[in-house]
Amino acid sequence: MPKRFRLTRRMPVAMTEDAYRRLRRFASEAGLDEGEALSFLFENFDSVTDSETLTARLRLFNSELEARKR
């Protein structure tokens, strides 16, 4: 029996315009709303990411973060 899909947690999320556009595009292509798309991504995080690529991307993002905040 599949688990019932209930969005029980709500949180304010701040993201860049690029990230929000990408989330909306992904959600639209998948036939989901933004909350459902985020739930899918985080519930399946290990299978939708490549750990080697993720580490490199995270390192790059962190190195540029302070400059992007200005």
pLDDT, position 30: 97
pLDDT, position 9: 83
- The reply to whether 64 falls in a domain is yes
Residue with tokens 């998948």: 30
- The reply to whether 12 falls in a domain is no
- The reply to whether 60 falls in a domain is yes
This prediction's pTM = 0.77
Count: domains in the chain: 1
From CA 29, how far away is CA 33, in angstroms rounded? 10
Domain membership of residue 25 as a residue range: 17-69
Q: What is the pLDDT of residues 14-46, one digit of tens each?
A: 999 999 999 999 999 999 999 999 999 999 999
What DSSP designation does 15 have? -
Would you tell me the crossing angle of helices 34-43 and 17-30 to the nearest 10 degrees?
90
